[in-house]
Chain A
Amino acid sequence: MNISTRFFAAASIAALSLFAGSAMAQEKLVIGTEGAYPPFNTLEANGNLTGFDVDIAKALCEEMKVTCTFVTNDWDGIIPALQSKKFDAIIASMSITPERKEQVTFSKKYYNTPPAIAVPKDSPLKDASPASLKGKTLGAQGSTSHSNYVEKHFADAEAKLYPTADEYKLDIANGRIDGVVDDIVVLTEWVKSDAGKCCKILSPLPIDPEINGEGAGVAVRKGETALADKFTAAIAAIRTNGKYKQIQDKYFDFDVYGDK
């Protein structure tokens, strides 16, 4: 960030705080998402973006009275793309973790589900303890809290990191890896589908607050607290007016928001 943009940012923050409370300046927002993480966000074959994240994002925008457009971006580069202003907010099941907080500012969570481990149906594994996974190969998507989870809690297992969830799914179906770690909702949806018939959920994994953070939130550029607060307020609003429940029921038959 050079001096002039810094000055501009400072000036716009000052301007925003002057208008705080009244109608805000931001009319249009570009939302970034991954589009490869069903059932949260998927780019359908016909080019439509669907999923829980996308519906929540639309509801939030409606609540905030802004027009939103969507952009998909590779997961690996999604934070740098936010920082270089390709979009204004990430709504892509991004966990609020301490590592990411150094790079971006988060709203409060809009859902929180635990991680889980899936294994092939004929797997000899009985439980997901670090001892029984010793020497096994575990897959996860790279740059995710789940990959950090594998490295920390299953240090004796070999971690293989894939660019998207699709690739680890292929590799476990091929029988190359002994298990995969990801969000329980993602894995449950997958083992129910035709592509996931190779595998089963072994067990949920305990949430590690240091790694999994406080759940998934909306990420905005660092320092744009006003925008993050607007998202937080909008999340609270759609939870009270029933819109959140309506979207949740469309995708899940259980509560994904988690504890208060």
Chain B
Amino acid sequence: MSVISELIPPQPAPPELKRRITPARVAAIGVLALWAFLAVLLLLTVVNGWDQAKFLRYGPRYLNGLGVTLSLVGLSIVLGAILSLPIAFARMAQNRLLNALAYGYVYVFRSTPLLAQLFLIYYGLGSFKPQLETVGLWWFFREAWYCGLLSFVLNTAAYQAEILRGAIESVSRGQHEGAAALGLSKRVAFRKIILPQALIVALRPYGNEIVLMIKGSAVVAIVTVYDLMGETRYAFSRTFDYQTYLWAAVFYLAMVEALRHIWAWIERRLTRHLKR
């Protein structure tokens, strides 16, 4: 047993460390200054280049394009989520054939560029018009918008299936065993115990996937869809003003920023039982 016999007298605060000028700090300040300079230039171009006529002429078209982008991405994310369910389960299945098929699907769609997939669907399948007409699908493949939607759904389903599979497999075995010990059927255990925990894990990757889709969706402009990028290209082709691309960047930034806030809110809500 120890007894404190003597108190240490109060000590003065430690001397402040001298902030030395190191090459790293100089470089960092230089880089920051460069960024600030570029930001000011950017702001100045926007202010100087402001043109009421252009704004009135192309502004509504931009909003239109924004609508097309949002509907295209929204629909493809939802439809892709539905399609990703069977793929994710096939990936986890014991059946070798099912497993290989799902693996092949994910492998192909994750390792080829979205643009190539879109071109193959739009121009490649488009060259089978007589065959598509016989099976009554030409109305679908005739429209660039549908072709864009299809390629996005197929692409995002591959990514979402992997997100879902990874999240489900990340839930520990103990959860399965505990549910079984309570006498819950596999189905109920999956829906009430495994999936809610998996979705918390999957939330951020899902957010990333949507962000990537929002930006990736710009490729449809190449196949004549007037999405946000399509309208931008149109405005640029008429004005030769590179600010049109600056405005497009602002719109994409706003979409991603809004999504980031929504995701932060959902995460706070879903994980409130984990906070003390």
Q: Please give the residue numbers on chain A whose beta carbons come within 8 Å of chain B beta carbons, in ascending order.
A: 76, 79-80, 83, 99, 103, 139, 142-143, 147, 160-163, 167, 170-171, 173-176
Contact = CB atoms under 8 A, between A and B. Distances in A.
B126 A142 contact: no
B126 A176 contact: yes
A174 B127 contact: yes
Contacts of B234: 142, 161
A258 B268 CA distance: 71
Interface stretch (B161-169, B181-189, B235-243): B235-243
B237 A176 contact: no
A161 B224 CA distance: 6
B237 A163 contact: no
B222 interface: yes
Contact of B224 (A99, A162, A174): A162
Interface string B25-68: 00000000000000000000000000000000000000000000
Contacts of B233: 76, 142
B107 interface: no
Contacts of A83: 240
Contacts of A80: 240, 242
Contact of A76 (B123, B144, B224, B237): B237
B192 interface: no
Interface in B121-135: 123, 126-127, 129
A contacts with B: majority SS: mixed
Contact of A175 (B129, B238, B240): B129
A208 B142 CA distance: 31
A79 B240 contact: yes
Interface in B103-133: 123, 126-127, 129
Contact of B237 (A143, A160, A167): A143
A174 B129 CA distance: 7
A183 to B, nearest CB: 17
Nearest to B129: A175
A173 B126 CA distance: 9
A99 B238 contact: yes
B126 A171 contact: yes
A135 to B, nearest CB: 14
B142 A176 contact: yes
A175 B127 CA distance: 8
Contacts of A171: 123, 126, 224
Given A80-B240, A160-B224, A174-B126, 16 more contacts: A76-B237, A83-B240, A99-B238, A142-B233, A142-B237, A143-B236, A161-B224, A161-B234, A163-B222, A167-B123, A170-B123, A170-B127, A171-B123, A174-B129, A176-B129, A176-B142
Contacts of B129: 174-176
Interface string B229-271: 0000110111010100000000000000000000000000000
B224 A103 contact: no
A171 B129 CA distance: 11
16 contacts: A76-B236, A83-B240, A142-B234, A143-B238, A147-B237, A170-B127, A171-B123, A171-B126, A171-B224, A173-B127, A174-B123, A174-B126, A174-B129, A175-B129, A176-B126, A176-B142
